[in-house]
Structure 1
Amino acid sequence: MLLSPPHLGGGEIGAIAASLDDGWLAPAGPVPAAFEQAVALATGFRHVLATCSGTAALHLAYRCLDLQPGDHVWCPGFTFAATIAPAVQMGAVPRFLDVDAASWTLDPLALARDLRTAARGGVLPRAVVAVDTYGQCADLPALAATCEAHGVALLSDSAAAMGATRHGRHAGHGSRMAAFSFNGNKIVTAGGGGALCSDDPLPIARARHLARHAREAAAHYQHETTGYAYGLPSPLAAVGLAQLPLLDARVAARRAIAARYALGLSDVPGIALMPEARGGRANRWLTAIRVDARRFGMGGEALRLALAAAGIEARPVWKPLHLQPAFRGVPHAPLPVAERLFAEGLCLPSGSAMAPEVQDRVIAVIRAAHERARHG
């Protein structure tokens, strides 16, 4: 049983065939443009660029901010490395902040405190990147107000948050630019791919230029700067276009899965689901739990191994970036919440096609592991 396998709706093969029949393979033609329009409709953003990955979208966002070597970029330490990797590869200096225990997303109070301190020291970050953890939206209005007060750009890594909302707005709204992913394990997929979204046309126009090798409008190959091959190929855009109409149903299915876990594990000591943020409606891309080893009888890693022995894939939550060898020595604030989440956290199988009886087996294995641990 896989953690988050793709859930196909049946229209993908026909969409790919139509793209091929029309002769479109490259990141060009009507299908990527139609996919961008569909993403705009689903998210409410006015301007969208389809990209070959969510990481590419983030890289373009950093380029659109004119990020320079030595610039500082802050993000939560509790995230996937791709949030900050493009900035580091561009020569930026990262700094990692803690998350809020009530949402597992960037703590607005911690950000406000640290930006005040940085302002007094005269070294403000060029950008702050919020992350929508496991499909739960960060509190972008609060984060944006703090960033605006200091003249700092706010980006949103909304890779896993298609279909999620907070304060009545789709994930990513309130940031200058938001990046989404359509990787194979996401709630809707193109088999890969991503999107960079904004309500401002200027950064998306620049990102589109950069994503096409920064080729100028000339009959010959003319370049005023260098760019990338970051476009989304037509066949993948066709898959995404077939998937997006299913977004609401996929979110409903994942939320139902999270609710069944909550009910089925409600009386198991030491198990707590990731909380839903105030004012938020998470898409529950992955259902994550915390395992209190003292009360449950074993820790999260021992439970993961028990699930693996039963043929069930589970995964530890994000290892905080300040504990990753790749970021050894990187400045960071104290991250007690992120460290505690990593010590206790586990993601459970959450695929939207998972039948209730299959999920019941996951719940049964967890309950049996607790009983074995309790009776020695």
Structure 2
Amino acid sequence: MNNERIFLSSPHMSDEGFEQEFVKEAFDTNWIAPLGENVNKFEEELAEYVGIGHAAALSSGTAAIHLALKAAGVEKGDYVFCQSLTFSATANPIIYENAIPVFIDSDEKTWNMDPKALEEAFKKYTPKAVIVVHLYGQSADMDRIKEICDKNNTVLIEDAAESLGTTYKGRQTGTFGEYGIYSFNGNKIITTSGGGMLVSNNSEKIEKARFWSTQSRDQARHYEHSDIGYNYRMSNIVAGIGRGQMKVLNDRVLKKREIFNRYKEGLKEIPEIQFPNENEWEYSNHWLTPIIINGNTTPNQLMDELEKYNIESRPVWKPMHLQPVFDKYDFVGNNISEDLFNKGVCLPSDSKMTLEQQDRVISIIKEMFGN
């Protein structure tokens, strides 16, 4: 059996070399800086793709969440509701602003923020903002979550880092709240090697975010600063890669969906394995294919078995309320997120994966479960 490494989700540049063309243009024009044509065009092209008014290209998705919180007016001592089942980058910026996170459980149907738990949390606290996540490209129930936030006059921020290309009722995730963020980290559905985008229909807030992202330098001949700033602006080189990747985004979504559906078909005879539903309201980019394992086999056993064959997999995120750094903060829910973590595994979903490689993964899993 071929023992070539199969990755979870690795960078995938276009076969046509679109990225190199834009990067070469930046070199040829000597725009090797956190400004330039690629930065401006990447913002415009991303905003047009998702159907929103304005975008700010930043150094990471984490930076985008941080500036979204600042734009929402989050300050020291404010409460921020945050989905618990997520990567720590969603929650860390809350602490950057000296605010207080309250972690919200997941819904079994979506794996994302549970609207019922969100409503319960509003009975206990008055937050300045809510951060919902679209985990692994699966959409949260945005109608219900937005309705709850609107009813409570609370700013909604969407962490769509993993869900570029996912739609909810035909609308792109990341565009329902006052702010949305996307990530272009190396493992995302499209990548700039590192980078992120903050989007909003509020032009003034996006312009303010750009100002903060370039060290809050005031309009003056000398270096004048009346606000604290950050080194968060995306470079023209990185943005050039992003512009090239935008040209293949739809192809990447189709490939990820094919991978998900092929796993679902190939492993359907194993009763212990459960796939998340693609709910009636969503078209998921299926950035990763997560599964739940019921029965005696553990996620670690499956991951160890795959690793024997040089196949990369990953646990489902450990919920934030179970993390040592956040364990002093409140959690609202019924421990659905903990159950997903205890039973969950993300299967390799690399968009460069061949059919033969995916068959290899399926065959190993079937053999492990006695099929």
Q: TM-score range by the shorter chain?
A: over 0.9
Alignment counterpart, residue 55 of structure 2, candidates 48, 67, 74: 48
Cα displacement (A) at 1:48: 0.4
Match for 1:361: what amino acid? Answer: R
Alignment counterpart, residue 18 of structure 1, candidates 22, 25, 29: 25
2:314–2:346 CA contact under 8 A, matched in 1: yes
Alignment counterpart, residue 91 of structure 2, candidates 84, 87, 94: 84
1:77–1:335 CA contact under 8 A, matched in 2: no
- What is the identity percentage for the equivalent residue pairs of Structure 1 and Structure 2? 38
Note the alpha carbon deviations across 1:96-143, whole angstroms, 9 max, x for none.
11111011011112212321x13xxxx401111000100112222221
Cα displacement (A) at 1:205: 1.2
TM-score (norm 2): 0.96
Alignment counterpart, residue 282 of structure 1, candidates 262, 284, 305: 284
- Secondary structure of 1:339 counterpart: helix
Match in the other structure for 1:8:
13
Q: For residues 265-304 of structure 1, what are the structure 2 equivalents within 5 Å?
A: 265-294=267-296, 298-304=297-303
Cα displacement (A) at 1:150: 1.1
Note the alpha carbon deviations across 1:37-71, whole angstroms, 9 max, x for none.
11012111110000010000011111111211110
2:157–2:180 CA contact under 8 A, matched in 1: yes
Q: For residues 92-107 of structure 1, what are the structure 2 equivalents within 5 Å?
A: 92-107=99-114
Match for 2:359: what amino acid? Answer: D
Note the alpha carbon deviations across 1:231-258, whole angstroms, 9 max, x for none.
1111110000000011111100000000
TM-score (norm 1): 0.95
1:97–1:335 CA contact under 8 A, matched in 2: no
2:120–2:332 CA contact under 8 A, matched in 1: no
2:186–2:193 CA contact under 8 A, matched in 1: yes
Name whichever of 7-16 and 71-80 sits farther off: 7-16
Which blocks of at least 5 consecutive residues in structure 1 are unaligned?
Answer: none
Cα displacement (A) at 1:190: 0.9
Q: For residues 1-376 of structure 1, what are the structure 2 equivalents within 5 Å?
A: 1-9=6-14, 10-115=17-122, 117-118=123-124, 123-294=125-296, 298-371=297-370
- Secondary structure of 1:84 counterpart: helix
**C-alpha distance in 2 between matches for 1:283 and 1:101:** 19
Find runs of 4+ consecutive structure 1 residues off by over 4 angstroms: none
- Secondary structure of 2:310 counterpart: coil
Cα displacement (A) at 1:72: 0.4
Cα displacement (A) at 1:339: 0.8
**C-alpha distance in 2 between matches for 1:204 and 1:267:** 49
Cα displacement (A) at 1:274: 1.8
When the two chains are superposed, the root-mean-square deviation of aligned CA atoms in Å is 1.1
Cα displacement (A) at 1:35: 0.6
**C-alpha distance in 2 between matches for 1:315 and 1:25:** 36
Cα displacement (A) at 1:277: 2.6
**C-alpha distance in 1 between matches for 2:120 and 2:279:** 21
**C-alpha distance in 2 between matches for 1:40 and 1:238:** 16
**C-alpha distance in 2 between matches for 1:335 and 1:92:** 24
Match for 2:344: what amino acid? Answer: G
2:129–2:155 CA contact under 8 A, matched in 1: yes
- Secondary structure of 1:142 counterpart: helix
Note the alpha carbon deviations across 1:208-241, whole angstroms, 9 max, x for none.
1111111111111111111111111111100000
**C-alpha distance in 2 between matches for 1:205 and 1:12:** 27
1:106–1:138 CA contact under 8 A, matched in 2: yes
Query: When the two structures are aligned, how many residues end up with a matched partner?
Result: 364
**C-alpha distance in 1 between matches for 2:10 and 2:38:** 25
Cα displacement (A) at 1:330: 1.2
**C-alpha distance in 2 between matches for 1:207 and 1:320:** 29
- Secondary structure of 2:331 counterpart: coil
**C-alpha distance in 1 between matches for 2:97 and 2:199:** 21
2:135–2:162 CA contact under 8 A, matched in 1: yes
- Secondary structure of 1:187 counterpart: coil
1:140–1:172 CA contact under 8 A, matched in 2: no
Name whichever of 104-113 and 209-218 sits farther off: 104-113
Match for 2:174: what amino acid? Answer: G
Match for 1:5: what amino acid? Answer: S
